[in-house]
Amino acid sequence: MARTKGGPPVVDRRVRRTQAALQCALIDLVEDRELSQISVADVAERAEVSRSTFYDHYRDVHELAEAACTEMLDELISLVSAIGGDPERGGPTGSLETFFATLAKHAGLYKSLLGPQGSARIIDHIRRRITAEALLTSTGKATPTKDDPDNVHAAFVAGALIGLAADWLQRDCAHTPAEMAALAWPLLSSCRFGADGVRATPVCDGSHT
């Protein structure tokens, strides 16, 4: 691999092309079958490279899946910060609708990744990213302490979103993104926001009678 003078390695164009081919191959394959059913040989054959070439770039199919989904996951997770009332996205449910619409755009991929035979590594990655985004959005805290109650609220929102997404995808997106947003918003807002949009004490913390 080439290096700049005194600097970090420069990724060769051929490396980028090979990685892009492998990532595209996996995305194509996962639209038709579960991630657990896709082998290194399947990906290599679709990308028209050898298995040894695959292992030059990735340890396994799950690591490839993480790399292949990075851009899409970034787009998906960025929507979390706007959930709760971005006027440009249609108010309280607008960004939530966009969240589900983005899932639907690559339904086969996300269904495979988040399903029962999906990638625990990727699910954990998404959960951590959404938790951090929810915490930063609602409190401005980037690094909470372990006993910070706001971390519990953020983790709850992350778990709820992932659970809703996985269930919806497994049901072949039976509801439209708009319907899902309308159904999900009251549940999420009860633990994130009060009537004026300010984060309220969660109704699930036992303090309400």
Q: What's the pLDDT at 208?
A: 42
Q: What's the pLDDT at 1?
A: 45
Residue 18 maps to a domain? no
Domain span at residue 95 reads 68-205
Q: What's the pLDDT at 4?
A: 42
- Paired with 9 in beta bridges are 3
pLDDT in tens, the chain (209 residues): 444 445 545 568 899 999 999 999 998 998 888 888 999 999 999 999 999 999 999 999 988 988 888 777 887 887 776 665 454 545 667 888 988 998 998 888 888 888 888 888 888 888 888 888 888 776 766 665 666 667 788 888 889 899 999 999 999 999 999 999 999 988 887 765 433 444 444 434 444 44
Q: What's the pLDDT at 198?
A: 41
Residue 152 maps to a domain? yes
Return the structure tokens found at 76: 């998906």
- Paired with 86 in beta bridges are 91
d(CA 186, CA 123): 24
Residue 140 maps to a domain? yes
Domain of residue 73, CATH code: 1.10.357
Residue 2 maps to a domain? no
Residue 25 maps to a domain? no
pTM over 0.75, yes/no: no
Q: What's the pLDDT at 57?
A: 96
Residue 6 maps to a domain? no
CA dist list (Å): 182 to 18, 37, 81, 94, 95: 42, 35, 18, 9, 11
Contact 93, 182 (CB under 8 A): yes
d(CA 186, CA 168): 17
CB under 8 Å to 57, separation ≥6 — which residues?
15, 18, 19, 22, 64
Residue 1 maps to a domain? no
Structurally, the chain folds into a number of domains equal to 1
Residue 11 maps to a domain? no
